[in-house]
Amino acid sequence: MMTEPAATSPAATEPPAPSGGPHAPAARPRTLPLPGPSGVAALLTVLTLVGVGVWSVIDLRINVATLLSSADNASDFLSRTLPLDFPTPAELAGPLGVTLAVVIAATLLSVVLSIPLAVWAAGNTTPGRPARTVARALIVIARAVPDVVLAILFFRLFGFGAVTGVLAMGLHSVGMVGKLYGDAVEQIDEGPRQALRAAGASRLQELTGGVLPQVLPAFVATAMHRLDINLRISVILGFVGVAGIGQDLAHALGRLDYQRGMALALIVLLLCVSIELLSVAVRRALLPDTEQRPTGVTGLVARLRPGTGARTGGRPAPVDPRTASAEALASGRVSPPWTPERVRRTFYVLVTTAVLVGSVAYSALDFNGFIDSNRGPLGVLAMFWPPESGGIGDRLLQGLVVTVQIAFAATLLGMLPALPVGVLAARNVAPSRRVGQVCRMFIVFVRSVPELILAIVFVVMIGLGPVAGTLALAIGVVGLLGKLVADSVEEVDPGPERALRATGASRIQVFFGATLPQALPAFVGHSMYQLDVNIRAATILGIVGAGGIGYELLNAARVLEFGVVTLITLMVFGVVMVVELVAVWLRGVVGGRAA
Amino acid sequence: MDTAPRPRPAVRFDNVTKRFGDTVALDGVSVTANTGEVLVLLGLSGSGKSTLLRHVDGLQMPTSGGVEVLGVDVPGARGRELRALRRRIGFVFQQFHLVGSLTVLENVCTGALGRMRGPRLGLPTYPRAVREEALAQLDRVGLADRAFQRADTLSGGQQQRVAIARAMLQHPEVLLADEPVASLDPESAHQVMELIREVAAEENLTVLCSLHQVDLALSWGDRIVGLRTGRVVMDSPVSELGRDEAMAVYARVGSAAPLTTA
């Protein structure tokens, strides 16, 4: 009783905390920074880009009504495509073999060309500044000229054979493979190379002994990635005339045989998935050392036999090291023992070699010599110059606008699901392991579906035009941008996240307070990269009737207006360049690393 | 102690100066190492020890002055001649510089590249004779039983011993060691220095070794050369240096910088 007023009085004298604060000065200090001019410009740019995206969505009439009517078409689509008409294995074997041979030989060609280019282009191995400039220019040009345009060019020289496909895809691939190989060479540890030089090794010996072993895992991984991409591209090349399963698909769609067409599309899809799985298996088999501990059956065997499984560094302790060394010397063994591991590895290397040799041999057999022999290679090149509008300049401009609209609309629409899915797929943000795994698997699944196949399905379902292309690319965004976003969220410095969690912040507060601010520059960079990818892809998708300038490209090639082909290539390249410049500037302002 | 120093110098620096832009890395250095001598370079980081070593086998060339190694005028040597000289000079680095993804034996085999033509890809591409000798060199450093492990599965001390085996496969006449034990624990450091001393004695090698630690320098060197900001500030046989004297000299090397700037 006596204590009660004493206990309540301190609480009563406490200041009403949340409302005023103890010292509220007359002139309030600035608690928000003044926006800088470049910040405002960046914000305006982002808003403009989003605005262009919104305008594109509206102008292309991608809305609920369109989607509803296409849902109507879906049942119609099913009645037109079912039952699927699969080719017999015998019918399939030929085109499938051609496609695989061309794709593998093209990837091999790009690797063979990229290795010397990468050595020249990398700052640490280049023989000199002029060589470096030349190599880098060649890599940029290879990326700038689309494979379809290269194919159109090589048809005039080599005809509709496998050689055209190999050269078109192989040369264009150098743009990516050469770039990534050069990056890998620049990232090596210089030490071993220096040691070899100090031991009197020649320049070539330095490269093979000190550089190549370090970059080999990256080289193989890049080659397998490119193989996957080239398989998808080979279908497009089928539409412009390269033999293989893509051409069969194009022919089936051309004669409105959707039952056969969709069956072939499904086969291509399965092929893409199996190449993806194969790529994982090959990487494991060729480079077991990049993986951690062996697991499964081989891991069990290695653990049961600690003597032979010495690769993991397990120390067979009690033996005197000098004695062990002397015994090893006495054994006279100067080649590694044939462990099951090494047998398996050698087997895979031999199989890979056989596949490579077979693919090259097949493609070479298909070479019938120069077609336009009276003109010669230079004469054929001259047909592509100067660029001209062919009297349809306004149609080309219209097509270009539609292509850019498709790219913008697809990027914007795709980002809506891609950003949340990508963020939730990141291990450090996912509310539970299960959610993270589901999101990641969803991304992987979407990635394995070629955009071209989606475009074909949508063209059949919705009809020719930009809506089909936009939807196909938008789904593709979930696969690519979703993965890039997930990776960049996982790469943020975990320190600030821990600090916020330590203050008692909730999961969502941690995400918005620590994770997102760190990952935001990467988001901007990746989105701009996605836009760049989509402009190039939208051009190509036009070839299968998904709207835009690609259709004009195909027509120009058909009627042999090669000057128009060149003009279209330059127009698209110009737009890509503009987007690239904006992207570089924007990344600089937002302070992100290069995507 | 046992043999009288021979008159023929294996390495001779004559008033060597090396500039990188405005920085003077070596400033009028004159040093001579006689055949079979173990010469220790002492000095702080940035005093020019590494630069001096890299001038011996022409990884860097002097701005002015003469470098003569094994009778070869190094700044005058180019291409094939320089490679031939480097083959006669082994080099051991602080960071070992092995290719981690290759087997230990293949790393040792690369020491023979200087006397082979053309590139090599993979252990089987080295002649059997080279592989056998590489295994013998590995046994010399006590690691023949590790021949087929990846190099990066070894400890730091073991990796440095592999690097020494690689250098020995060159059949060098001069051995350069740039802070060979700076990344190692004391026990491994002791083993590696003992190994260098051992192979140097067996092959009558001329050794130039840079070190941080005065103690190691006194126990393993025949002669100590002190460097400070690219200048030789001390050059005397270990036998003529008392322990305290050497410590004092090293301390002076360290503490003198503020005195000169004051």
* Distance of residue B71 Cα from the nearest chain A Cα, in angstroms: 17
- Total number of domains constituting chain A: 2
| Contact call for A202 and B145, based on CB within 8 A | no
pLDDT digits (tens, 9 = 90+) for B44-89: 888 899 999 999 989 899 999 999 999 999 999 888 889 899 999 9
Query: Same domain, yes or no, for A365 and A447?
Result: no
Q: Which residues contact A415 (CB under 8 A, 6 or more apart)?
A: A477, A481, A527, A530
Query: Same domain, yes or no, for A363 and A493?
Result: no
Cα(A393)–Cα(B32) distance, rounded to whole angstroms? 79
Quick check: is A11 in a domain? no
Angle (CA) A425-A430-A436 rounded to 5° is 45
Task: Report how far Cα A304 is from the mean position of its chain's Cα atoms.
Answer: 41
Which pLDDT belongs to residue A531? 94
Q: CB-based contact (8 Å) between A288 and chain B?
A: no
Q: CB-based contact (8 Å) between B59 and chain A?
A: yes
| Contact call for A336 and B148, based on CB within 8 A | yes
Q: Specify the DSSP class assigned to residue B101.
A: T
Cα torsion for A157, A160, A164, A169, to the nearest 10°? 140
How crowded is residue A557: how many other Cβ atoms within 10 Å of its Cβ?
Answer: 23
Query: Same domain, yes or no, for A373 and A457?
Result: no
CATH number for position A179: 1.10.3720.10
Q: Which residues contact A531 (CB under 8 A, 6 or more apart)?
A: A49, A407, A408, A411, A579, A583
Two tokens, residue A196: 């070899």
| Contact call for A191 and B96, based on CB within 8 A | yes
Q: pLDDT above 70 covers what percent of chain B? A: 89
If DSSP codes are grouped into helix, strand and coil, which group holds residue A348?
A: helix
Which pLDDT belongs to residue A309? 39
What are the Cα distances from residue B259, in Å, to B28, B229, B244, B254, B262? 21, 14, 21, 10, 5
Two tokens, residue A504: 């008692």
| Contact call for B93 and A329, based on CB within 8 A | no
Count of A–B CB contacts within 8 Å? 138
Whether the Cβ atoms of residue A488 and residue A418 lie closer than 8 Å to each other: no
Q: CB-based contact (8 Å) between B167 and chain A?
A: yes
Cα(A337)–Cα(A2) distance, rounded to whole angstroms? 91
DSSP code string of B122-138: SGGGS-HHHHHHHHHHH
Q: CB-based contact (8 Å) between A333 and chain B?
A: yes
Quick check: is A314 in a domain? no
Query: Same domain, yes or no, for A170 and A258?
Result: yes
A386 cis-preceded (ω within 30 degrees of 0): yes
Which pLDDT belongs to residue A558? 86
Of B83, B97, B142, the CB nearest to A194: B97
CATH classification (class only), B7-88+175-262? alpha beta
Q: CB-based contact (8 Å) between B121 and chain A?
A: yes
pLDDT digits (tens, 9 = 90+) for B160-180: 999 999 999 999 999 999 999
Length of chain B counted residue by residue: 262
Which pLDDT belongs to residue B68? 94
pLDDT digits (tens, 9 = 90+) for A43-69: 899 999 999 999 999 998 887 777 777
H or E element, residue B16: strand B9-20
Cα(A273)–Cα(A231) distance, rounded to whole angstroms? 11
Q: Residue A414's closest CA among A42, A64, A53?
A: A53
Angle (CA) A166-A172-A174 rounded to 5° is 100
- Confidence label for B28 from pLDDT (cuts 50, 70 and 90): very high
Quick check: pTM over 0.90? no
Cα(A324)–Cα(B212) distance, rounded to whole angstroms? 33
Query: Same domain, yes or no, for A451 and A557?
Result: yes
- Chain A neighbours among B 14-53 (CB < 8 Å)? none
Quick check: is A14 in a domain? no
Q: CB-based contact (8 Å) between A346 and chain B?
A: no
Which pairs from B197-205 meet CB under 8 Å and 24+ separation? B197/B38, B199/B140, B199/B164, B199/B168, B199/B175, B200/B36, B200/B38, B200/B175, B203/B168, B203/B172, B204/B35, B204/B36, B205/B36, B205/B90, B205/B172, B205/B173, B205/B174, B205/B175
Cα(A147)–Cα(A168) distance, rounded to whole angstroms? 5
DSSP code string of A132-198: HHHHHHHHHHHHHS-HHHHHHHHHHHH-SSHHHHHHHHHHHHHHHHHHHHHHHHHTS-SHHHHHHHH
The structure tokens 């992100």 sit at A592
Quick check: is A81 in a domain? no
Which pLDDT belongs to residue B250? 59
Query: Same domain, yes or no, for A349 and A449?
Result: no
To test the contact with chain B by mutation, choose from A320, A334, A338, A341 the residue with the greatest count of B C-beta atoms within 10 A, namely: A334
* ipTM of the complex as predicted: 0.83
pLDDT digits (tens, 9 = 90+) for B196-224: 999 999 999 999 999 988 888 888 899 99
Whether the Cβ atoms of residue B133 and residue B73 lie closer than 8 Å to each other: no
pLDDT tens, residue order, chain A (595 aa): 444 444 444 444 444 444 444 555 567 777 777 777 888 888 899 999 999 999 999 998 887 777 777 777 777 778 888 888 888 888 888 899 999 999 999 999 999 999 999 999 999 999 999 999 999 999 999 988 888 889 988 888 888 788 889 999 999 999 999 999 999 999 999 999 999 999 999 999 999 999 999 999 889 889 988 998 999 889 888 888 888 899 999 999 888 888 998 899 999 989 888 888 887 777 666 555 544 444 434 444 444 444 443 444 444 455 677 788 888 888 888 888 888 888 888 888 898 899 999 999 888 877 766 665 567 777 788 888 888 887 888 899 999 999 999 999 999 999 999 999 999 999 888 888 899 999 999 998 898 888 888 888 888 888 888 988 999 999 999 999 999 999 999 988 888 888 888 888 888 888 988 898 888 888 988 999 999 999 999 998 888 888 889 889 988 888 888 899 999 999 999 999 999 899 888 888 876 433 3
Q: Residue B232's closest CA among B15, B53, B8, B5?
A: B15
Cα(B107)–Cα(B125) distance, rounded to whole angstroms? 13
What are the Cα distances from residue B20, in Å, to A446, B24, B27, B64, B67? 54, 6, 12, 12, 18
Q: Which residue has the higher pLDDT, A593 or B8?
A: B8
Chain A residue numbers with beta carbons less than 8 Å from the beta carbon of B131 are 334-335
Cα(B20)–Cα(B46) distance, rounded to whole angstroms? 13
Q: How many CA atoms lie within 13 A of B142 on its CB side?
A: 17
Q: Residue A145's closest CA among A171, A125, A117?
A: A171
Which pLDDT belongs to residue A299? 43
Which chain A residue is nearest to residue B91, measuring alpha carbons? A198
Query: Same domain, yes or no, for A235 and A113?
Result: yes
pLDDT digits (tens, 9 = 90+) for B119-146: 888 888 899 999 999 999 999 999 999 9
The structure tokens 């070869």 sit at B72
Q: CB-based contact (8 Å) between A324 and chain B?
A: yes
| Contact call for B144 and A326, based on CB within 8 A | yes
Q: Which residues contact B48 (CB under 8 A, 6 or more apart)?
A: B18, B25, B26, B27, B29, B227, B229, B230, B231
Chain A residue numbers with beta carbons less than 8 Å from the beta carbon of B69 are none
Whether the Cβ atoms of residue B133 and residue A332 lie closer than 8 Å to each other: no
Cα torsion for A228, A232, A233, A237, to the nearest 10°? 140
H or E element, residue A94: helix A89-121
Query: Same domain, yes or no, for A187 and A264?
Result: yes
Provide the sign of the torsion angle of the four alpha carbons A272, A276, A281, A282, taken in this order. positive
Whether the Cβ atoms of residue A168 and residue A237 lie closer than 8 Å to each other: yes
Query: Same domain, yes or no, for A585 and A449?
Result: yes
Chain B residue numbers with beta carbons less than 8 Å from the beta carbon of A184 are none
Cα(A337)–Cα(A346) distance, rounded to whole angstroms? 12
B3, pLDDT greater than 70: no
Backbone dihedral region of A442: left (phi > 0), alpha (psi from -120 to 50 degrees) or beta? alpha
Whether the Cβ atoms of residue A169 and residue A111 lie closer than 8 Å to each other: no
Which pairs from B60-66 meet CB under 8 Å and 24+ separation? B60/B18, B62/B16, B62/B17, B62/B18, B62/B26, B63/B17, B63/B18, B63/B19, B64/B15, B64/B16, B64/B17, B65/B13, B65/B14, B65/B15, B65/B16, B65/B17, B65/B28, B65/B29, B66/B12, B66/B13, B66/B14, B66/B15, B66/B16
What end-to-end distance do the CA atoms of chain B give, in Å? Answer: 42
How crowded is residue B231: how many other Cβ atoms within 10 Å of its Cβ?
Answer: 15
Domain boundaries, chain B: 7-88+175-262, 98-171
Cα(A544)–Cα(A113) distance, rounded to whole angstroms? 30
Q: Residue B198's closest CA among B154, B137, B239, B146?
A: B137
Q: Are strands B206-211 and B174-178 parallel, antiparallel or unpaired?
A: parallel
Angle (CA) A244-A246-A248 rounded to 5° is 75
Which pLDDT belongs to residue A452? 86
Task: Report how far Cα A197 is from the mean position of its chain's Cα atoms.
Answer: 37
Two tokens, residue A51: 């605005």
- Domain holding A175, by residue range, is 86-293+341-377
Query: Same domain, yes or no, for A414 and A346?
Result: no
Two tokens, residue B5: 């120093």
* Distance of residue A364 Cα from the nearest chain B Cα, in angstroms: 27
Which pLDDT belongs to residue A513? 87
Quick check: is A39 in a domain? no
Domain boundary among A377, A402, A421: A377
Cα(B246)–Cα(B226) distance, rounded to whole angstroms? 10
Chain B residue numbers with beta carbons less than 8 Å from the beta carbon of A197 are 59, 86
H or E element, residue A51: helix A37-59
Written as one letter, the residue type at B242 is: G
Quick check: is A10 in a domain? no
Two tokens, residue B207: 């050794």
